[in-house]
Amino acid sequence: MLNAFGALAQGTRLVLSKGLRRYVFMPVLVNLILYAGTIVYLLNNFGGWIDYWMLKVPGWLEWLEWLIWPLLVLSLVVVVFFTFTLVSNLIAAPFYGFLAEKVELRVTGQPPSDDRGFTRTAIDSLGRELVKLGYILPRMALLFALGFVPGLNLVMPFLWAAFSAWMMAITYLDYPMDNNRVSFKDMRRRLRARWWPTLTFGGWVLAATWIPLANLIFLPGAVAGSVLMWQQHYRQLPIVR
């Protein structure tokens, strides 16, 4: 049975193969521009953010500054990473949806069960990304706030790791499901029903995205890998309206 790492590896090879490489150019260009912009923005602002939040630490917790500082840095890095990922996927969503469609055609010999045209699909993809944002952002804000609760902040790295894997799974596995007219609610139900493949795939995608520059290829590879995961683990599950 295809596992999460195998899906990501095969997906990356697929998008680099003849006939699919041309569909990767625009997503890579979008991510490259955002990647460069994010680095410049962080270099100019990150130190000020850390200083600002450290001033918010109550005086009675100053003795824990050695622990609070790295946890705060980690939380801010994760939030910036999430923001970069969400904005990147919002802009690249129409291209990723189209790439997922071409990969499914290559893998199965049949197009997705979707009769929408390219323009309609592109518009709907943007709407779907906004639905994802509405699901992810409140939960991300809650986790960030919990990071300032004494005691609870000690387990926040583990909560962030689990949430990050879930978010990446939702972000990428949604492309083939949207192409096959699976509702967002039903998509989440399918992911929960196959929770282990879901979290491991999300975890591997998350790890891949942290590799500088190589992640420009791994992100389209994750789209192709999500199609393979859809075929192997989720397609056969019953539809729930």
The residue that leads in pLDDT, 204 or 60, is 204
Q: How far apart are CA 86 and CA 78, in angstroms?
A: 12
Residues 6+ apart with CB under 8 A from 68: 54, 57, 61, 153
Radius of gyration of the chain (CA): 19
Residue in 87, 94, 98, 105 with CA at minimum distance from that of residue 23: 98
Q: Which residue has the higher pLDDT, 67 or 31?
A: 31
For residue 180, which amino acid is it?
N
Q: What is the mean pLDDT of residues 178-182?
A: 90
d(CA 188, CA 233): 13
**Domain positions in the chain:** 4-234
pLDDT confidence band for 104 (50 / 70 / 90): very high
CA angle 184, 187, 192 (to 5 degrees): 130
Which of 34-43, 60-69, 188-197, 203-212 has the highest average model confidence (pLDDT)? Answer: 188-197
pLDDT tens-digit series, residues 138-161 = 998 888 788 777 777 778 788 888
Query: Rounded to two decimals, what is the model's pTM?
Result: 0.77
Helix-helix angle 65-108:215-229, to 10 degrees: 60
Q: How confident is the model over 162-174, as a mean pLDDT? A: 92
